[in-house]
Chains A and B, each alone.
Chain A
Amino acid sequence: MASIRFDKIGKQFGETEIIKNLEFSVNDGEFMVFVGPSGCGKSTVLRMIAGLETISSGEIWIGDRVVNNVHPKDRDIAMVFQSYALYPHMSVYDNIAFGLKIRKLPDADIRKRVKDAAELLGLVNFLDRKPKALSGGQRQRVALGRAIVRNPSVFLFDEPLSNLDAELRVQMRAEISKLQRRLNTTTVYVTHDQVEAMTMGQRIAVLSACDKNKPRATNLMQCGSPMDLYDRPDNIFVARFIGTPNMNIVPARLSDDGSTVNSLGGSMPVSAQFKQAAQAMRGREVMLGIRPEHIGAAHEIDWPQTQAIQGQVEMVELLGHEAILHFKVGGQIMVGRLHSHGHLPAPGDTVTMQMKCEAIHLFDPVTELRLR
């Protein structure tokens, strides 16, 4: 068991900055998910923990030692790769046992450990098979087996589910979570899929790519529990990235006394959490964010305070339990939610929807940070 700490980590490939001033820690036994769009450096973070990538600046701690110059094999970690990276010429047994054989464990011990892992993962009947004779999900399990059999203090997962089909992905998602809770091993999990991040992570770190045109202090956008990120996104990037469908973000203006915010032809009271910040920015432009589930039809909701907006329907996506409504309000596409069994408008119809006032988020249009 071990915690992991990143202390002002930076990484450049030549001139290109990949990771900037990254600071966070993963607690002992915690399941931490790194999520971000492709090119944000999340895999690099994982590979730096594994020791497969050098570090340009800063220190990485695993447990109570700096591991910057520690060889991967001495870091007491195990990694599961996106491609599984199984050894194609070895049987499942040998694949799982390889790391133990290299470490020269006694044969009896190896046999017992492989057997235990195989039982845990349901691979007992496949131990003699070669990887190419396995299905995707079974290969994934072998990769997991190879990781857990060594009983490492840290698990690293690099997009392990992205090669699986949708159904299997949901199943393996649950299995990995269960396994981690059972073994209680510190885990860092990298994915580009925010649903995976939300469902699996005890905490989530959102990364964005370093952008020369938008200099930021770090490319760690926010780090917190899933609901933290969902309910209180630190900035527009996180607000947009977490949650499906994406949060609506529209330009707005605070009233001269800072008590209401005007947007989409309506005016809404500023909720308590933004009161102070809104006072400071009164009369100025802000960005207003509201999640699609907080825009609904009047007869389907019972929110205490709402603001009506009127627009033209662009598209209705029927999901079964609900319908996603895309409608245009003064040139701005908004996304709202309807019950799927109610009356559904057709494209071109004019609709009036209600926004839940206390659910709005306010952001600074220049820094893109949440007002606070």
Chain B
Amino acid sequence: MAEPKTKNHLWLHVSLITFTMLALYPVFWVLALSFSGQQSVGLIDLPKDPSFFERLRGILPFPAHWSVKNYVEVWTEQQFGRWLWNSVVISAMTTLLGVFLACTAAYAFSRFRFPGRNTGMLMFLVSQMFPGTLMLIPLFIIIVKQLQLGNTYIGLVIVYATTSIPFCVWMLKGYFDTIPYDIEESAIIDGASRLTIFWRIILPLAKPAIAITALFSFMTAWNEFILASVFMESEANYTAPVGLRFFVGGFSSQWGFFAAGSVIVSLPVVALFLQLQKYLISGLTAGSVK
């Protein structure tokens, strides 16, 4: 038998490492900035006439001094804690409302035949084709002018939930469609009502898909900036993304706070992803394989 030929993977590795570094460079920069204990974007002070190595040193994401000052101060001296809390409440409410409505709607679209069923699904799809900014003015008129919900949690929650529902419904309907109808008929004969079937059979079986839609709803609300910046007028009601922008907008340029805040904001999402990753694959491939 011939020796299995060991392939030289060197170039593959070199290119992969290069691209990984390229992708991670901004992340490292933000991390370095957040731990630098200062507010300027530059991590080191370059001398008047820098040499090549000093310039090289200047683009490495490695601060001259290490300090957690930015993290401490972003909590103590700024309203960042408050903004984070706003984001948590709004995102949680959006997730609950969005997932609940999406589940019930998707179940109906999947199982019942009613006039407007196909049109309804199509409208959901069409609604996803417009850029979010296009909706800014109509949403502002509806939520702020007509419903008087400007500057409130509930106003943003309604907007976020309606934005995330179309995707969630498509996602969940696709998953519900793969649950054999036999199972439900069997439950009907067993004596279960529609509601019982929905709660005790369908929802437990759709856990992976629900996890994904929940994550999606949460991220929609958690990361959104434009609508929140328009709807939330008072500083106390800012969400985290709007607050972050506040550090570096207008006359201030507190990049250190911005970086520390960004890291804090991304932690819950990372945690959620890690928590839900076991569902990710099965949830995302749902519907592709029966």
When chains A and B are docked, how far (Å) is the Cα of A103 from the Cα of B187?
A: 12
**With A73-B189, A78-B189, A146-B190 as contacts: A85 and B205 at CB distance below 8 Å:** no
Are B185 and A99 interface neighbours, CB within 8 A? no
Chain B contact residues: helix, strand, loop or mixed: helix
Are A102 and B190 interface neighbours, CB within 8 A? yes
| Number of residues on chain A facing chain B (CB within 8 A) | 22
Contacts of A81 in B (CB 8 A): 182, 185-186
Are A52 and B183 interface neighbours, CB within 8 A? no
Contacts of A89 in B (CB 8 A): 201, 204-205
The listed residue (B187, B188, B189, B191) touching A87 by CB distance below 8 A is B187
Is A56's beta carbon under 8 Å from chain B? Answer: no
Is A239's beta carbon under 8 Å from chain B? Answer: no
Chain B min CB distance to A347 (Å): 44
Contacts of B187 in A (CB 8 A): 87, 98
Is A220's beta carbon under 8 Å from chain B? Answer: no
Among residues of A, the one whose C-beta sits closest to the C-beta of B196 is A102
Q: Mark A55-80, 1 if CB is under 8 A from B, else 0.
A: 00000000000000000110001110
The listed residue (A77, A82, A83, A86) touching B189 by CB distance below 8 A is A77
When chains A and B are docked, how far (Å) is the Cα of A88 from the Cα of B189?
A: 17
Is B180's beta carbon under 8 Å from chain A? Answer: yes
The listed residue (A51, A79, A103) touching B186 by CB distance below 8 A is A79
Contacts of B180 in A (CB 8 A): 83, 85
Are A88 and B182 interface neighbours, CB within 8 A? no
Are A85 and B186 interface neighbours, CB within 8 A? yes
When chains A and B are docked, how far (Å) is the Cα of A314 from the Cα of B105?
A: 62
Contacts of B192 in A (CB 8 A): 73, 98, 102
The listed residue (A73, A85, A86) touching B191 by CB distance below 8 A is A73
Are A73 and B190 interface neighbours, CB within 8 A? yes
Chain A, range 253-277, C-beta contacts under 8 Å to B: none
Is A295's beta carbon under 8 Å from chain B? Answer: no
Among residues of B, the one whose C-beta sits closest to the C-beta of A52 is B185
Contacts of A73 in B (CB 8 A): 188-192
Among residues of A, the one whose C-beta sits closest to the C-beta of B186 is A85
When chains A and B are docked, how far (Å) is the Cα of A51 from the Cα of B186?
A: 12
Q: Mark B172-187, 1 if CB is under 8 A from A, else 0.
A: 0000000010110111
Are B190 and A52 interface neighbours, CB within 8 A? no
Is A205's beta carbon under 8 Å from chain B? Answer: no
Among residues of A, the one whose C-beta sits closest to the C-beta of B207 is A89
Contacts of B185 in A (CB 8 A): 50, 52, 79, 81, 85
Chain A min CB distance to B250 (Å): 54
Are A85 and B183 interface neighbours, CB within 8 A? yes
Are B191 and A99 interface neighbours, CB within 8 A? yes
Contacts of B186 in A (CB 8 A): 79, 81, 85-87, 146
When chains A and B are docked, how far (Å) is the Cα of A212 from the Cα of B187?
A: 36
Contacts of A99 in B (CB 8 A): 189-191
When chains A and B are docked, how far (Å) is the Cα of A82 from the Cα of B185?
A: 12
Contacts of A72 in B (CB 8 A): 188-189
**With A87-B201, A88-B205 as contacts: A102 and B191 at CB distance below 8 Å:** yes
When chains A and B are docked, how far (Å) is the Cα of A86 from the Cα of B192?
A: 14
Chain B, range 152-187, C-beta contacts under 8 Å to A: 180, 182-183, 185-187
Contacts of A52 in B (CB 8 A): 185, 188-189
Chain A min CB distance to B100 (Å): 20
When chains A and B are docked, how far (Å) is the Cα of A306 from the Cα of B223?
A: 91
Are A87 and B183 interface neighbours, CB within 8 A? yes
Interface centre among B182, B188, B190, B204 (most CB of A within 10 A): B190
Chain B min CB distance to A269 (Å): 54
Chain A min CB distance to B247 (Å): 47
Among residues of A, the one whose C-beta sits closest to the C-beta of B183 is A85
Among residues of B, the one whose C-beta sits closest to the C-beta of A147 is B189
Among residues of B, the one whose C-beta sits closest to the C-beta of A75 is B189
Are A98 and B189 interface neighbours, CB within 8 A? no
When chains A and B are docked, how far (Å) is the Cα of A83 from the Cα of B186?
A: 11
Chain A min CB distance to B234 (Å): 47
Q: Mark B192-211, 1 if CB is under 8 A from A, else 0.
A: 10001000010011000000
A-B contact pairs, 26 of them (CB 8 A): A51-B189, A52-B188, A72-B188, A73-B190, A73-B191, A73-B192, A83-B180, A83-B182, A85-B180, A85-B186, A86-B183, A87-B186, A87-B187, A87-B201, A89-B201, A89-B204, A89-B205, A98-B192, A99-B189, A102-B190, A102-B191, A102-B192, A102-B196, A103-B191, A146-B190, A150-B190
Which residues of B are interface residues toward A (Cβ below 8 A)?
180, 182-183, 185-192, 196, 201, 204-205
**Which 3 pairs between the two chains have the least Cβ-Cβ distance?**
A99-B190, A85-B182, A85-B186
